[in-house]
C-alpha cells in the first residue's frame, strides 16, 4: 500500500439485495417504494459497506465473483448519498458514482427487515465515530483538552513527611511498694532509712520519755490480746527465743 493510503475496513455484508430503476422524483414528498417494480428487480447481488478513513462506501457486487456493479460514496448520514423511502423501512435510494464522477440514483431493497436494520445501524455507528473524531481533533487544535490539574508547588509551600515516627507516649512513673509513687526527699533533708521488719511472734512499741528508762509493752500471744508492761529491769528486746503461749 502506498504511503499515505488508508486501510479499508468492512462494516457490514448482506448477501441478498435487489436493485431497481426508479422514476425521477416529481414532488418534494420523497421517494415511495410502491412506485417501483418491486416484484421484478433490475439486478440482484451482494451488498458490502466499507470505510476508508471517514468516508463509507456502499458497494454492490456479484455474489459469486465479487465483481463491482456500482458503489455509492457516503460522506455523511443521513444525507444526499442515501435516503429512506416514505412508505417502507426495507428500501433506500442510493446515489451511485463512477470513476469519472458521473452519478445516478437507484433504489435498493432487502427481503428481510433485519437486514435493512443492520444496514442502517452500520452507517449510523460509522458516522457517530466520525463525529467523535472531529470533536477530538477540534479540541486538540484549540488546546481545549479538558481541565488541567496544577500539581506544582506554590511559592513558599512546603510539605512535611513523618517517616518511621509513631505517637509519643508518656513514660510510666516508677511505683514503689503498694503501687504508690515514691515522693522525692525534702530540700536539704536526708532520706530516712526504711523501718526494720517487725518480729513474727511479738510486736513491740517503743516510747521515749524524759527518763532514760524505756517503757515497753508486749503483746500477749494469747487469745486475750492483753498488753503486758515490762518492768524497768526487763530486757528491752524481749525474749524472742521463748515459744509463744
Task: Tell me the three cell numbers of residue 75.
Answer: 460522506
**Model-wide pTM > 0.85:** no
| DSSP states of 43-84 | EEEEEEEEEETTEEEEEEE-TTT--EEEEEEESSSSBTTEEE
* Distance, first Cα to last Cα, the chain: 126
pLDDT tens string, the chain, 245 residues long: the values are: 555 567 889 999 999 999 999 988 777 778 999 999 999 999 999 999 999 999 999 999 999 999 999 999 999 998 899 999 999 999 999 999 998 889 999 999 999 999 999 999 999 999 999 999 988 888 888 765 556 666 666 777 777 777 765 555 555 555 554 555 555 666 655 555 666 655 554 444 444 444 444 444 444 445 444 544 445 555 544 554 444 44
Distances, alpha carbon 123 to alpha carbons 46, 81, 96, 114, 228, in Å: 17, 12, 16, 15, 124
Q: Which grid cell is 176?
A: 514503689
For residues 176 and 123, what is the distance between their CA atoms, to the nearest angstrom?
92
Instruction: Give the domain ranges of the chain.
Output: 8-142, 203-245
Q: Does domain 8-142 have CATH number 3.40.630.10?
A: no
* Cβ proximity of 15 and 45 under 8 Å: no
For position 43, what pLDDT does the model report? 96
Amino acid at each position: 500500500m502506498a504511503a499515505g493510503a488508508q486501510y479499508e475496513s468492512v462494516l457490514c455484508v448482506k448477501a441478498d439485495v435487489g436493485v431497481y430503476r426508479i422514476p425521477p422524483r416529481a414532488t418534494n414528498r420523497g421517494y415511495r417504494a410502491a412506485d417501483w417494480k418491486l416484484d421484478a428487480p433490475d439486478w440482484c447481488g451482494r451488498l458490502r459497506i466499507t470505510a476508508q478513513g471517514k468516508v463509507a462506501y456502499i458497494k454492490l457486487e456479484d455474489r459469486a465473483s465479487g465483481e463491482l456493479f456500482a458503489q455509492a460514496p457516503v460522506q455523511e448520514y443521513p444525507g444526499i448519498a442515501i435516503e429512506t423511502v416514505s412508505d417502507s423501512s426495507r428500501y433506500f435510494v442510493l446515489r451511485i458514482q463512477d470513476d469519472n464522477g458521473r452519478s445516478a440514483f437507484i433504489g435498493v431493497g432487502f427481503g428481510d427487515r433485519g437486514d435493512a436494520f443492520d444496514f442502517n445501524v452500520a452507517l449510523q455507528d460509522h458516522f457517530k465515530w466520525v463525529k467523535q473524531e472531529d470533536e477530538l481533533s477540534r479540541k486538540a487544535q484549540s488546546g481545549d483538552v479538558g481541565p488541567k490539574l496544577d500539581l506544582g508547588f506554590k511559592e513558599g509551600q512546603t510539605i512535611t513527611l513523618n517517616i518511621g515516627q509513631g505517637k509519643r507516649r508518656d513514660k510510666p512513673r516508677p511505683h514503689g511498694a503498694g503501687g504508690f509513687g515514691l515522693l522525692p526527699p525534702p530540700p536539704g533533708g536526708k532520706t530516712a532509712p526504711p523501718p526494720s521488719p517487725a518480729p513474727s511472734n511479738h510486736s513491740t512499741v517503743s516510747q521515749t520519755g524524759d527518763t532514760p528508762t524505756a517503757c515497753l509493752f508486749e503483746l500477749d500471744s494469747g487469745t486475750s490480746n492483753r498488753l503486758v508492761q515490762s518492768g524497768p529491769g526487763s530486757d528491752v528486746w524481749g525474749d524472742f527465743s521463748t515459744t509463744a503461749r
